[in-house]
């Protein structure tokens, strides 16, 4: 049976944002912010939702490491001053350059404030309908890159640590115990990625906490037919209503660091539109069906993924 899925949470598929040089004014000002803060989050439709504010508007935002920039829901920010952009888009979303406008805003997440934050205005109505709540926007890489982000799914808490230039925490506050594993990451534009293995073959998988489900390139999956069990068909829906058909199934024996996953649900789809805008060819994404199974931390400056309490993961 076919099931309709919203494309928006696979944020890499949304658009490809042109990366302009960030001025010194947009740098994080630690003197005006705490060095660490902890706040709650919700999981709605396997998506991380937090409370934040832009200007005088406060409400629900999606946390999305796969999104290059801050995205504001145009239906809630009709009065925001905007400028023309040099943004390019891929053909999966149905968006064109003329569909998108840019603004500079002040973003506050808990006690951490970042001024002169570049934001793109997009109609997120389809995402709101799929989640059943008002969504003011999506918080992406250009905010997250300053910090270490600890996501504790069991406690439904996120902790943000401010980092120095070397990626060390600026506070010695012992909020968390030592992780069981720390995995080195690399970066391709806005996406951090790691190297995983299936049948001794290396795969490059981006970390995307905005993706409800993990994704693998369908051509790559053909190499591992004995490891892949299809379960259902689904439709991905772009912002303009355009649909594309995909297969959903489970992959066995995926090795990430020293941890072997017994099974991982994935969407099999064409990944080439994403790879066109990245410097490194990726084989897929690790979404929240992996990231929310344990406590994790992503250190953007050190480029590491720390894992606590693997839970359902089978140790090799």
Which domains are assigned to the chain? 4-162 (2.40.70.10), 181-307 (2.40.70.10)
CA distances from 178 to 27, 29, 302, 307 (A): 29, 28, 16, 9
The rounded Cα 173 to chain-centroid distance in angstroms is 27
pLDDT at position 237: 67
Can you list the residues of the chain whose pLDDT is less than 50?
A: 1-26, 30, 89-97, 312-316
Element (H, E) at 127: helix 125-131
pLDDT at position 296: 96
- Whether 315 and 259 have beta carbons less than 8 Å apart is answered as yes
Q: For residue 114, what are its two tokens?
A: 């970042």
- Classify each residue of 229-249 as buried b or exposed e, where b means 16 or more C-beta atoms within 10 Å of its C-beta: eeeeebebbbbeeeeeebbbb
Q: For residue 78, what are its two tokens?
A: 């009709």
Complete DSSP assignment for 248-277? EEEEEEEEETTEEEEEEEEEEE--HHHHTT
Question: Model pTM?
Answer: 0.86
pLDDT at position 78: 83
Query: What's the whole-number average pLDDT of the chain?
Result: 84
End-to-end alpha carbon distance in the chain: 35
CA distance 235 to 267: 10
pLDDT at position 12: 41
Tens-place pLDDT, residues 130-165: 899 999 999 999 999 999 999 999 999 999 999 999
Tens-place pLDDT, residues 104-134: 999 999 999 999 999 999 999 989 998 999 9
pLDDT at position 278: 87
Q: What SS3 state is found at 79?
A: coil
pLDDT at position 315: 37
Tens-place pLDDT, residues 278-289: 889 999 999 999
CA distance 203 to 197: 6
Comparing CA positions, the residue from 276, 33, 15, 261 lying closest to residue 143 is 33
pLDDT at position 263: 94
- Whether 248 and 267 have beta carbons less than 8 Å apart is answered as yes
pLDDT at position 158: 97
């Amino acid at each position: 049976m076919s099931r309709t899925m919203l494309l928006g949470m696979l944020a890499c598929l949304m658009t490809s944002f042109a990366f302009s040089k960030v001025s010194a004014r947009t740098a994080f000002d630690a003197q005006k912010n705490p060095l660490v803060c902890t706040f709650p989050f919700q999981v709605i439709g396997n998506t991380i939702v937090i409370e934040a504010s832009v200007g005088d508007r406060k409400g629900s935002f999606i946390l999305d490491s796969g999104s290059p920039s801050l995205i504001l829901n145009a239906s809630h920010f009709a009065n925001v001053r905007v400028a023309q952009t040099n943004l390019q888009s891929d053909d999966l979303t149905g968006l064109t350059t003329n569909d998108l406008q840019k603004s500079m805003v002040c973003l506050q997440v808990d006690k951490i404030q970042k001024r002169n934050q570049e934001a793109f205005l997009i109609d997120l109505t389809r995402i709101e309908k799929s989640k059943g709540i008002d969504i003011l926007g999506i918080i992406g890489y250009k905010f997250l890159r300053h910090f270490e982000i600890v996501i504790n799914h069991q406690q439904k808490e996120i902790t943000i640590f401010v980092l120095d230039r070397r990626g060390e925490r600026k506070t010695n506050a012992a909020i968390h115990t030592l992780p069981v594993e720390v995995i080195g990451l690399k970066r391709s534009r806005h996406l951090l990625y790691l190297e995983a293995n299936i049948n001794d073959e290396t795969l490059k998988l981006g970390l995307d906490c905005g993706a409800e489900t993990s994704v693998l390139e369908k051509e790559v999956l053909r190499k591992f037919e004995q490891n892949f069990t299809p379960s259902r068909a689904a439709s991905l829906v772009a912002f303009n209503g355009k649909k594309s058909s995909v297969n959903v199934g489970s992959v066995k024996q995926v090795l990430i660091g020293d941890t072997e996953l017994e099974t991982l649900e994935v969407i099999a789809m064409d990944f080439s539109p994403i790879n066109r805008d990245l410097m490194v060819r990726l084989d897929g994404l690790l979404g929240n069906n992996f990231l929310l199974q344990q406590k994790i931390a992503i250190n953007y400056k050190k480029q590491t993924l720390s894992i606590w309490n693997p839970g359902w993961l089978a140790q090799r």
